[in-house]
Amino acid sequence: MTTLTAEPAYWSTTQKIAFRFFMIFFLLYVFFNPNGVIPYSDNLQAIYIQPFYKLVPWIGAHILHLSKPIIIAITGSGDTTYDYIIMFLILAMSITGTVVWSITGRNTSNYNKLFYWLTVIVRYYVAITMISYGFYKVIKLQFPAPSFSRLLEPVGKLSPMGLAWTYMGYSKAFNYFTGFAEVLTGLLLFFRKTSILGAIVGFVVAANIMAINYCFDVPVKLLATTLVTMCMFLMLRDANRLINFFFKNKETLPSNLTSHRFKAKWKNTTLIVIKYVLIIYTLCFGLVDALAREKQFGAKAKKPPLYGIYNVEIFIKNRDTLKPLLTDTTRWRKFMISRNGSAQIQMMDDSMRRYNFKPDIKKRTVTAYTDADTTHKFNLTYNLTKPGLAELKKFKGAKKNDTAEYLVLKGIWKKDSVEVWMRRLDPNGFLLLQRGFHWINESAYNK
């Protein structure tokens, strides 16, 4: 009969205090950040979180005396002032709860059963979070391919997060690698026999995510740090075994993976059913949701009319043809229609302008406006054409056999009449997209 490591009958005071703190901390963190780990938990959170939308701004104004009011809005950041105050509340309540619990429960000899169920909650939280993020990488939604405007933007003008997103979005293979690593972590954590391996893999994966978030100023630092902490907590029970195995080259006993069951058989059966329903739901819903979003927002989304990147060959403003001078801040240099239908205009000084671009295919017209000013709209007509030889003479360097397509915009733009002739470019003409993978490289290609 195989001997297993026994659960300690008596815990030290330090162990009990540490457990009480992490028990309260993790449960509160999941309460405030359910991350959809249980179906419709986000909908429920939207209800019970309402009082904190009033409490947190009050704390910021009257206790922390912040210079600016806390604005609660969906911004894509998980590291807002609101999030940090919530984390402050979690820590404060965890410390307070630990003190009260330590006074009232000082005679408790161990928390073996509570520890078991806490590890189950943490395992499932990390697992479902990892799988959801993993599918968004495998389907390539979190890190899309570099947009036209990003390809034209000088590296020096990129934000650290923009650089990281471009780096990750460039490679499908790297997305597969990181995505499957996260999915694998989740699958391993779902089952007790593989949970310690899942915690080790999860620690490595989450630590890499945390490093990127800190080093490239990605605003998901709080979640990434918590995931690393949770993985370390899951390894804590087997700390001595792991140290003996990895560092001391000593024999270790198998871990005691005996589950804490209820006396009533139907309760245990119900838990098993819930477990596998949750696993199947997480995998199926996560994959189906990612595939649906890929068709709506990702690489398989329908491309908008006029999608592409264009070089501005002729720019006529108030019947005056403007020369392509780098000092001109009004002449266009490049024109791009992205996958979401918006337009980006690169000016001659390399600055970017972004507009909502609404084409009417039947009327051959477009309406352009900015998010900052939706009342002032610019109305233009457009035409896609392959010019004849006579028209091509207008273009410097044009050849007889030129088969490129041109987009012509005419109308009133900022109180000026404009006529813009733009040559459609090959969207894959950038070195970053052309270079590809090579097994053999005679020299480092780092141009």
pLDDT at 441: 85
pLDDT at 1: 46
Block residue for tokens 């799988």: 131
Backbone angles phi, psi at 20, to 5 degrees: -60, -45
Helix (H, G, I), strand (E, B) or coil at 412: strand
pTM here?
0.87
CB atoms within 10 A of CB 438: 8
Q: What is the pLDDT along the chain (447 residues), one digit of tens a residue?
A: 455 566 778 899 999 999 999 999 999 999 999 988 788 888 899 899 999 999 999 999 999 898 888 888 888 899 999 999 999 999 999 999 999 999 998 888 999 889 999 999 999 999 999 999 999 999 999 999 998 888 888 888 899 999 999 999 999 999 999 999 999 999 999 999 999 999 999 999 999 999 999 999 999 999 999 999 999 999 988 888 889 888 888 888 787 777 777 788 888 889 889 889 989 999 998 899 888 988 888 888 888 888 999 999 999 999 999 999 998 889 999 999 988 888 999 999 888 899 999 999 889 999 999 888 878 889 999 998 876 655 655 655 455 556 678 899 999 998 899 999 999 998 888 888 888 888 888 887 776
Geometric angle at alpha carbon 52, from 51 and 55, rounded to 5°: 95
Geometric angle at alpha carbon 32, from 31 and 37, rounded to 5°: 60
pLDDT at 388: 61
